[in-house]
Amino acid sequence: MAQYNPPLRDLQFVLHELLDVCGEFKQIPAFAEVDADTVNAVLEEGGKFAKEVIFPLNITGDAEGCTLDKATHEVTPPKGFKEAYAQYVEGGWPALSCNPEYGGQGLPHTVNQCFYEMLNSANQSWTMYPGLSHGAYEALEAHGTPEQKALYLPKLVSGEWTGTMCLTEPHCGTDLGLLRTKAEPLPDGSYKITGQKIFISAGEHNLAANIVHLVLARLPDAPAGSKGISLFVVPKFLAHADGRLGERNAIHCGALEHKMGIHGNSTAQMILDGAVGTLVGEPHKGLNAMFVMMNAARLGVGNQSLGLTEVAYQNAVAYAKDRLQMRALSGPKAPEKAADPIIVHPDVRKMLLTARAFAEGGRALAVYTVLQLDKELHHPDEDVRKEASDELALLTPIIKAFITDNGWLATSHCMQVYGGHGFIHEWGMEQYVRDARINMIYEGTNTIQSLDLLGRKVLGDNGKKLKAFGKKIAEFVEEQGVREDMQEFINPLADLGDKVTKLTTEIGMKAFANADEVGAAAVDYLRVVGHLTYAYLFARMAKIALDKQGSGDTFYTAKLHTARFYFAKLLPETASLIRSCRAGLSPLMAMDEALF
């Protein structure tokens, strides 16, 4: 009953018409030969793989889940997952955006981002197995020794091995400064690592021959807190320098988490009992190295909810057009039928358009942000790299928190469209809601992202990064403000930009007196700035649609309608959020704990 069609037309619109990514690539020698035909061809084939190979495994994988053999500690993912992974490897998909030095295809991360959106729509649980490998690859490429790179990177790039990140422990949660896993030096320069890690996505499985775990642990002389954490690479099987597998390492899955969603992915409790690992980067600087992987994961989790938003929207629209119930309040719209299709009802339309706007706004922001990643890593101009790095830092917590919050809202709305059928597993909608809810929690809860945005990325540099992004918005407002047909987009965008500036200053002044003011405002503040990014991109998309609406292509007509809906029905949320921010700390802290 469920269906999925890759949104290739909208992806192409964002890539080529909104962002002109190939024009940007021409400024980067490594990508100068990447043209629109190449990008489109890759995504067309990637869409086929998502739709035809892994989407059919989504509902069945959720129902079956993963199985742990407690005697051998081996985990078997749902039926079909291993075969699908073999097709993924055979197609060369793991290598898409990896360095050719290690066997990669050398395409931009921007292309890989779009491919992974489609994979997440098709089957988030399956996509997490190869998805985490990208983060492990990037951390080792940035901080690994030459020997580590030579051993692990070609295998991760080919997909022969997969990767994970082993961060938290039962007592830690997000506060990694509390972790207790120990790393003791061995005479040969390696380390014996002992401890327990929990919530390890894709921690154990049989899809690949080896699993490369990146593990946070403490050396014997480590200072307390987060400044005493080191990073180690700990493979499931020890390997020879030529890549041949040796003996089983002393790391195993002790149990699988029985969680509300992403059942097809093996979220594992990993036990390290003297496992052998090697140090990545400098001693006690493990978080610096791991943040490469964590930031990649935060962009990836935003992409997960973007994928869920898109597929939930597609199915809800199909259902709303087909489901007959009641008559329109203004009179029958399908008099030849027993009742009208529910898509005629205003509130159903509101729910569908909310999901559509969150999908299209999220897609524009996600691709825009990953384009900054490509510039940061590869652009020849140092100033451009620095500007892109700052913008990436500013937008990463928004990608993670705003898109996942919106994904939860959108999938919930889409389930509501189904009425009682939305709760039935076979329709697929309740699975999207369960999966989307998890995305708001892991890789740093959305509150942590909000504190990161307001405390570190905005107030931490006196608003420098935010002002630079705001300057882009102001230039667009000035350029397009003379157009009469753009006023419905430009005026609210300019107004919100001014309000964000004033709100930021106000919170900053309060925080000087009491730092807890940041915690009181952060979640609402991130949502306000998230809307600012969407409003900016929707205004740019609306301009393109206005310029091309005479072409007769209904795509632009629909884009314009969606932009108008966003500005009329979703952006006004910022008024109440700003008011909540200004209410400050007192309403939250005034009540004595004993009264709770």
Distance CA(93)–CA(106), nearest Å, equals 12
Give the DSSP per-residue string, 434-498. Answer: HHHHHHTTSSS-HHHHHHIIIIIIIGGGTTHHHHHHHHHHHHHHHHHTT-GGGHHHHHHHHHHHH
Distance CA(219)–CA(239), nearest Å, equals 23
Residue 180 is encoded by which pair of tokens?
């207790």
Burial of 425 (0-12, 13-18, 19+ CB in 10 A): exposed
Do the beta carbons of residue 77 and residue 60 sit within 8 Å? no
Q: How many CB atoms within 10 Å of residue 60?
A: 13
Distance CA(60)–CA(49), nearest Å, equals 17
Do the beta carbons of residue 306 and residue 363 sit within 8 Å? yes
Distance CA(219)–CA(197), nearest Å, equals 16
In the residue annotation, 387 being an active-site residue is answered as no
Distance CA(1)–CA(516), nearest Å, equals 49
CA dihedral 376, 382, 386, 391 (to 10 degrees): -50
230-235 and 268-280 beta bridge pairing:
antiparallel
Burial code (b: 16+ CB inside 10 Å, e: under 16) for 485-517 equals ebeebbebbbebbeebeebbebbbebbeeeeeb
Collapsed DSSP state (helix, strand, coil) of residue 219: coil
Handedness of CA 545, 546, 550, 552 (dihedral sign): positive
From the list 204, 376, 443, 517, the catalytic residue is 443
Residues with a known catalytic role: 443
